[in-house]
Structure 1
Amino acid sequence: MTTVRYCINGKLVSGIAPTNRGFAYGDGVFRTMRLLDGELQDWPQHYQTLVADCSKIQIVCPSADLLMQDFRLLVSSAAAEEAASGIIKIIITRGEGARGYAPPAICEPTRVLVQSPLPVYPAAIYQQGVALYTCQTRLAQQPLLAGIKHLNRLENVLARAELKDPRFFDGLLRDYDGHVIEAVSGNLLIQKENVIMTPALDQCGVAGVMRQKIMDWYRTHGQPVAVTAISLEQLLAADAVVIANSVYGVLQVTQIDDHVMATDHWAKELRSHLHYIIH
């Protein structure tokens, strides 16, 4: 698949009004998920997260049925092979409004679905793991927006622009207190002396669906994941580190900057537990 397709408010178009608040102010949220065998992977979890994210910024999330109608329309326009796999990004904005920051009293949310090809990852990242670069860009603390995937992603853009060395798969983001928060495009989990930990996201960062799936799996099996502040020193001393998102799944971190990490088969085990299919 090479074509990027769009569905906006139930129509197969690619244009959006300049007065749309998502375009003008980043006033909205989004989530990204895999399309495999014609079905959205982890759709119930993604929709639940969209609803929660919208609620935090006082947008009424469109119904799951309406979004699924848009999805079916979008993939129906593709050839059979292209309709079966890809990446689906769902964007919900507050809708159109007049100039100025004040949200309109009455506003119809805008629904945008984008279908693009599945990224082609080298097999080595699943077999040998990946290296991370510690970004100089820091995440600002804003509890009101912490955890949600809002459309203001300039910190991630600036951090990703730092990654010029092809040895590094992704960047490592910290806050201004020096706590490790996440990767540029995924969440972090660490293992230390049989304790599973993930950075707290109550001040900044994005709470991804794959992170939640891992936490749920451990909780179901009697080992809750500790959500806590983690320093860079703690991260480097971990017995194992993985990064996770809904596209590449779970990857073992084998190096951070010039520091070689302890490695095991944790990422492979998690992919197996979660039935993640490597494409």
Structure 2
Amino acid sequence: MFWLNGKLADSISLSDRSFQYGDGCFTTMLTRGGRIQYWPRHIERMNACLDLLAIPRPDWNQVEHWLQQAIKPDTKAGLKLHISRGEGGRGYSPTQVASPNVTISDFIYPSHYEQWVSGGLELGICRTRLGHNPLLAGHKHNNRLEQVLAKAELDDGGNADGVVLDICDYVVETTMANLFWVKDATLFTPDLRNAGVNGVMRRIVLEQVQTLPLEASIGDFKLEELLSADEVFVSNSVLGVAPITRIGSTSFDIGKITKRIQEMIDS
């Protein structure tokens, strides 16, 4: 069961354009103590994608009310908010489409995330490459086929997550998180102008770094530069910040910068 425009449902129309074309966007949120973490940031990132796609923004006060129905008040959990353009239209044309559909689903906080946050996780290296799409890069739109292919590859290899490169062999992200690494008092993270998702937690980490004696470098980096790092970590809104202890055959210690950023995020 999920919530469709505020009402419990177990199905959605086959003519919904998210099913037909991936025509919409979504965000995944952590809830804690009955509250959505960083809710204004999620609104901001959804608005940016909705505006790009020319999908009308919803009444966010109403959406927040609907989300409250799905929140588990006494535990840490997750919510997925998904907005499609709606139903109808002729072929790809977005004209003659009904109003947007807002769907909400809840999920149990993954139990292994706590272990990842404290003890780190290991990454594979995906063979699947991300294509360049500067128009949609950075946004979490509903067409995630490249990520599906990359994750299927990791599942076959027995890895929980993996580093994903683009078609020019630059590091972009993992299949589920943004990547950061520290080398010589500089924090590095890939530029997402051509591919990848600019996550809510990524933005928060970059803001927090400004308070540390650490330079930040956003750019195009090859895998070799990542593997030469002093410490590596990943971030997403549900996981938070988690250290990386291995990428392929290269091992990393859990570094003091990673621990410091974790403390700042959790405070």
Q: Is the structural similarity TM-score above 0.5?
A: yes
1-structure distance, mates of 2:125, 2:184: 24
Which residue, out of 167, 173, 197, partners 2:164? 173
Q: Within the alignment, does 1:210 sit opposite 2:204 as a pair?
A: no
Q: TM-score, normalised by structure 1?
A: 0.89
Partner of 2:217: 226
11, 21, 24: which one aligns with 1:25: 21
8 Å contact kept, 2:88–2:97: no
Match of 2:61 in 1: 65
Structure 1: runs of 5+ lacking an equivalent: none
CA RMSD, 1 decimal:
1.9
Is 1:143 the counterpart of 2:134? The answer is: yes
Q: Which runs of 4+ in 1 moved over 4 A?
A: 220-224
| Structure 1 partner of 2:249 | 258
Secondary structure of residue in 2 paired with 1:52: helix
Per the alignment, do residues 124 and 85 of structure 1 end up closer, same or farther by CA in structure 2, a change over 3 Å counting?
closer
Give the one of 178, 182, 201 matched to 2:192.
201
Correspondence list, 1:1-279, <5 A: 5-75=1-71, 81=74, 84-105=75-96, 107-121=98-112, 123-163=114-154, 164-166=156-158, 168-221=159-212, 223=214, 225-275=216-266
Distance 1:199 1:87 in 2: 26
The Cα shift of 1:238 comes to 1.2
Q: Which amino acid aligns with 2:33?
A: D
Conserved 8 A contact 2:88-2:96: no
Conserved in 2, the CA contact under 8 Å of 1:61 and 1:92? no
Q: Deviations over 1:69-100 (max 9, x none)?
A: 2112334xx7x64xx44210000111111340
- CA–CA distance in structure 2, aligned partners of residues 204 and 158 of structure 1: 15
Aligned residues with identical type, % of pairs: 34
Residues 106 and 98 of structure 1: is their aligned pair in 2 closer, same or farther, counting only changes over 3 Å?
closer
The one-letter amino acid paired with 1:211 is R
After superposition, give the CA deviation of every residue in 1:143-182 in whole Å (9 maximum; x if it has no partner): 011000011111111111112344x331110001000000
Q: Distance in 1 between matches of 2:58 and 2:129?
A: 33
Cα distance in 2, alignment partners of residues 271 and 59 from structure 1: 35
Which range moved further: 218-227 or 58-67?
A: 218-227
Residues of 2 paired with 1:49 and 1:124: CA distance? 28
TM-score normalised by structure 2 residue count:
0.93
